[in-house]
Structure 1
């Protein structure tokens, strides 16, 4: 624990996985004392913490009394959360303590994909046609109205869990249980659990925006690689310092319309969009900073520290926004890739990067698994089947992906199947620009 009484105190609800969120925690700890509310004893988080509480769950009935007790002892400046499963109770806590936040109703709407669709439909925001269904008979009826191909998705899950593309009625019958049964801890349960959506073609991107008292400012765009069709595993991202979407008035106007429709107050959003022939179309809205390595890529490409900006937003403080990248500055493309075994249902025997084979331009090459771990590919292992991650920087997209290819070959992953047969596992070509939801 560290005593820095001169610095404001932030409450962080759930820290996330170290490989993805340590940068964010380290960032807010530079200017603030951090009180962590976590589900287990902190380990890697300890150097960044002033204090912490371990809770059996993140329900509102647990967080509110804990937060009120803390606020009675110390001055709490704000509540931060970048964990999708915990963002709603964290927002309720902030509102209960009278602190700036996105607003409970806005976050509740973001966590419920159907509620998002209804709210945006009322405001004329561009989005796919959709229907809410409770069973496979209702899904078939809705599919006949909307037309195939379709996307099935759980109403309140996250991280593409339960999301699948279906081309016809037979696939809909086969995949409905997959979509209706997917859930995350703390997600609300619904009588009508599945959202049916029109599949729209085009590249998928995400845009992260700072929101100050309802005014949204898009700050960076990540272009996605998605694989393992018909499922929607995000296999990598790319952020450019000169992405033209940030200067596209139609794109930025859609982003502002979405936030206005949601009546989003203070904080940050990660909005997923499809770039279609009819213009940008909304996929979903998340009330947090981007996941995976997206904030890291934004820092490398733009010099933007998302967590640092969020820390001021949750205190209701406006700060000078990062200036647009000067056109004279050398372009920077930052990209990431996740590496997987080439077959499903394997046990890791050994895994490491050959450091001598890693090329120039590498930012990070990190192993995500360990010997003895059981790796499953999607759909059973959505995002948990990743063996390693790589992030790189380069002057353009083509060069960045060339570095990623070389770095991928430096991973030495040895696995065995259920029968104990061992082999070095080459990495599958999982990237697909067309398979996106």
Structure 2
């Protein structure tokens, strides 16, 4: 199967997209990177794209499926697959693949997953446990929603925890809806759905279920325990695999995630399904019809032996393969801890070499250097870097990762 041509439609900036590109290159495939703005992937402040892994970069309006189709048709080498791994371009990828007769998920399932209110309705109708919710098109509609407080208010189709906030009462929720509705486009220049989701706050641990789906068959590979920062925002500060929740909760989470994927009709690709553990069991928070970011795919590979980005590329190139989806093993636990950013201009970065020598540490990534101007936002982009560590258990791996992260010092001055 070597020598095939894989077109990657944009990427996320948090690991799995770049891992998929590297996997395609390792397998001997030709790699084309389709983007509307290559400079985004080369800028400081996040992980950067290694252009040495790409045979060709093509610029087009990737937010428009028709433009993607035209760009792919114009390539000198016919494409065998269009792989979208980032949140923002799953719909474009699915629709372009369908138009070109290439493998990919049903676009209707992807659209249902990208609209959080539609996800809620379909899942609730299918009996999947979800928080109480209401879709609102104006701030005034918040006061008519029959929901308990505090509640969570979020955009319908954004990502990276952008705009997600805990609100104490109806007035605060209405104010946040008003703020969200002023933002008509997301960070990739796409027009957002002009409405918001107001939902019951589930006060419990957060986890995610990592899965591969082919022909509607769901293969759950891992349950990830997620660590969050201080409320009222929901910024992710670290993760560990396996979650090892005990009391049958890992299996219950896997069952809820699989049922949710079936309910929205997501039938092909990788999935990252987020849940909260209420007192009476897991409840669906959202479905992401792509691999997890934040290097969770790396943690899954370290913990189970399954390389999700590599498996995803292989699925796209052999969608009708009769071989079973991979079964996870258990090798060790792995964790990631992020270095939280503060506002200012970076003047020095020290301690990374020392951090890399600490027990269990496999990877220390620093995204900034002297001169970088940092303007943190209340979302998952407010990071200086990350540390990945392994240990016999998830909590121990997370402790090691955090200790190494604490050993890295980023000094800043006021901008």
Aligned to 1:337: 337
Cα distance per residue 1:201-235 (max 9 Å; x no partner): 21111111110101111111211011131011111
Tell me if structure 2 keeps the 8 A contact 1:163–1:179. no
Cα distance per residue 1:17-44 (max 9 Å; x no partner): 3766433321122222222112345874
Aligned to 2:45: none
Distance 2:354 2:261 in 1: 47
Structure 2 residue 351 is the aligned partner of structure 1 residue 353: yes
Tell me if structure 2 keeps the 8 A contact 1:15–1:25. no
Q: Give 1:236 deviation, angstroms.
A: 0.8
Given candidates 22, 26, 51, the residue that maps to 2:18 is 22
Structure 2, unpaired ranges of 5+: 43-48
> 3-state SS of the aligned residue for 2:383?
coil
Distance 2:83 2:377 in 1: 31
Cα distance per residue 1:393-420 (max 9 Å; x no partner): 01123422332232123212111124xx
Structure 2 residue 7 is the aligned partner of structure 1 residue 7: no
Aligned to 2:382: 385
User: Where does 1:9-158 land on structure 2 (aligned, <5 Å)?
Assistant: 9-17=5-13, 21-31=17-27, 32-41=29-38, 44-70=49-75, 74-142=77-145, 145-158=146-159
Q: Give 1:354 deviation, angstroms.
A: 4.2
Farther off after superposition, 295-304 or 31-40: 31-40
Q: Give 1:180 deviation, angstroms.
A: 2.8
Farther off after superposition, 76-85 or 288-297: 76-85
Q: Structure 1 pair 417/156, CA: closer, same or farther in 2 (3 Å)?
A: same
Aligned to 1:322: 326
> 3-state SS of the aligned residue for 1:24?
helix
Distance 1:280 1:209 in 2: 17
Q: Give 1:247 deviation, angstroms.
A: 8.4
Bigger radius of gyration:
1
Structure 2 residue 309 is the aligned partner of structure 1 residue 311: no
CA-based RMSD of the aligned residues comes to 2.4
Aligned to 1:396: 393
Aligned to 2:275: 273
Distance 1:228 1:372 in 2: 28
Q: Structure 1 pair 178/353, CA: closer, same or farther in 2 (3 Å)?
A: farther
Q: Structure 1 pair 242/383, CA: closer, same or farther in 2 (3 Å)?
A: closer
> 3-state SS of the aligned residue for 1:221?
strand
What TM-score do the two structures reach when normalised by structure 1? Answer: 0.85
Cα distance per residue 1:293-315 (max 9 Å; x no partner): 10111111111111111112223
Given candidates 194, 206, 221, the residue that maps to 2:196 is 194
> 3-state SS of the aligned residue for 1:321?
coil
Q: Structure 1 pair 241/230, CA: closer, same or farther in 2 (3 Å)?
A: closer
What TM-score do the two structures reach when normalised by structure 2? Answer: 0.89
> 3-state SS of the aligned residue for 2:134?
strand
Tell me if structure 2 keeps the 8 A contact 1:110–1:116. yes
Distance 1:372 1:201 in 2: 40
Q: Give 1:132 deviation, angstroms.
A: 1.0
Distance 2:244 2:198 in 1: 35
User: Where does 1:290-301 land on structure 2 (aligned, <5 Å)?
Assistant: 290-301=292-303
Distance 1:256 1:107 in 2: 15
Distance 2:381 2:366 in 1: 13
Farther off after superposition, 21-30 or 79-88: 21-30
Tell me if structure 2 keeps the 8 A contact 1:226–1:232. yes
Tell me if structure 2 keeps the 8 A contact 1:269–1:285. yes
Distance 2:221 2:248 in 1: 7
Q: Structure 1 pair 234/298, CA: closer, same or farther in 2 (3 Å)?
A: same
Aligned to 1:430: none
Cα distance per residue 1:73-105 (max 9 Å; x no partner): 544322211111111101111111112211111
Distance 1:68 1:404 in 2: 45
Tell me if structure 1 keeps the 8 A contact 2:60–2:71. no
> 3-state SS of the aligned residue for 2:18?
helix
Aligned to 1:255: 257
> 3-state SS of the aligned residue for 2:399?
helix
Q: Give 1:57 deviation, angstroms.
A: 4.2
Distance 1:50 1:86 in 2: 21
Kindly tell me the number of residue pairs found equivalent between the two proteins: 401
Q: Give 1:392 deviation, angstroms.
A: 0.5
Q: Structure 1 pair 175/37, CA: closer, same or farther in 2 (3 Å)?
A: same
Cα distance per residue 1:125-157 (max 9 Å; x no partner): 110111111221111221xx1111110001111
